[in-house]
Structures are given as structure tokens and as C-alpha cells.
Amino acid sequence: MISDIMKLVGKFVNVFKKPLYGKTFKCPICHLELSEHDTDENGCLVCPLCSVVIELHETYGHFLPIVNDVEVERVQPKAKLHPLATHLPIGLMPFALLGAVFLLLASIYLKIADIPVSQSIFLSAYSQTINNVTLIMLVIAVCSSALTFLTGFVDWRYRFSGRSYRVITLKIILSILFLIIGAVAIALHFVVFNSGIIALDNFLNIIAAIFYFGFMSAAMFMLATLGHVGGYLVFGK
């Protein structure tokens, strides 16, 4: 199950990665996949994972990476804030999505059974509470992701000297997309769940709910992809 999810995330990453990376090669030491665009004007680059200095040559249409040095004095921040900041959005976003799905299923049940919320003991007592908790988790996940993006950006400028790596560019693009999609999902949440459950007798509300769950699913998948790319950058393949 987990391996299937990782394969799916990997395919999703490739959708963004292929047009961004161009031709790729692997670091001879840690096997991190790097892009031809990561090199400087001399055809050299420092691997962001293992710190070896690679000189890139092309032979018969294939890249030949040669290790000729090691960056031994890479700056390591004392307070590693970026890994800590990732816990809130990654931890809360799945539960926010789960809460929204529960309210959706409850709304469908009430519609099929043709009963008002007031006649359901559990939903009349707790639907608004579940809605509020779901919204709070969603807001915290999106807002804390801004802190995660900021600490990651500072980490890139400080630890990697602001070098241009396509894997970093990919993370920046995905982070901005997640912030935008998450903000739209928060706005739609107020429209869709204005009474605690979804009013399925309103056509416009149904359309709004479809967009809401589309944005929530996209945000969740975007976050999983960011975690996948970040873990790949730290631990390698």
C-alpha cells in the first residue's frame, strides 16, 4: 500500500520535474538525481546531498559526472528550523481532509435518509464542532506552511549558498502552489460548510463543494509531494 502511494507520488513529481530538469544525471557518490542546469559556467556543481564537487562532461550524448573535490566546510545551521516547521502542515492537513470527508459523508447520509440535522443526535450535537476543528486544522496547516517555506528558503540561502538547483526550484514552485491552493480551500470552506454540513439541496453549494474537495485533494497531494522531494534531498534515493 505504502509502496503504491510512493510510486504514485513519484509519477506526480515527474510531471513537474521533466520539463524543469531537462537532461539529468546521478551523483556518482550518493546517486542523487541532478539536472544539467545545476552546473555553473565551467560545467561544475556541488552535490547538495553529499557535498562532492562534480565536473560534468558529455560523451556520445551521455553525461559523465566526475568527482574532483569535496566541499568540507559546508555551513550547518545550529537551529534546524526547517525540518521542525514541516511537522505542522504535514501532520494537520490529512486530519483536516479527513474531517471534511466525514462531514461530506454525513451530509450525503442526511440527504439520502431525508432527515434534518436536528433529528440526528450525534450530528446536531457535534457537526458544528467537527466543522470548526476541521477549519482550524486547515488554517494552521496552510499558515504554518508559510513558515515552512520561509525557513526552507533561509536554509537554502544559508546552507547551500543560494546555489541554483532544480530540485530546490521544484520545492519552491510546489510550496507557492500549495499556499495558493490552501488559501482558496480555506475561502471555499466558509461557503461549503456555513451550517456545519453541506447543503446538498443547493446546486451552487454542490458546485462549491466539488471545487473545495478538488482543491483539498490537490493541496494534500502537493504536500505529500513536497515531503517526498524534501526527503529525497536529505536522504537520497
pTM over 0.75: yes
Q: State what percent of residues in the chain have pLDDT above 70.
A: 89
Q: Domain-by-domain residue ranges, the chain?
A: 2-70, 81-235
Q: Are 151 and 82 in contact (CB under 8 A)?
A: yes
Stretch 140-152: mean pLDDT, rounded? 91
pLDDT digits (tens, 9 = 90+) for 147-182: 998 888 888 877 777 777 888 888 888 899 999 999
Q: Residue 46 above 80 pLDDT?
A: yes
Distance CA 161, CA 221 (A): 29
Q: Are 178 and 145 in contact (CB under 8 A)?
A: yes
Q: Which pLDDT score, from 0 to 100, does residue 136 have? A: 95
Q: Which among 213, 199, 204, 200 is positioned nearest to 96, based on CA atoms?
A: 213
Q: Are 63 and 57 in contact (CB under 8 A)?
A: yes
Q: Are 48 and 167 in contact (CB under 8 A)?
A: yes
Q: Which among 38, 181, 158 is positioned nearest to 150, based on CA atoms?
A: 158
Q: Are 45 and 65 in contact (CB under 8 A)?
A: no
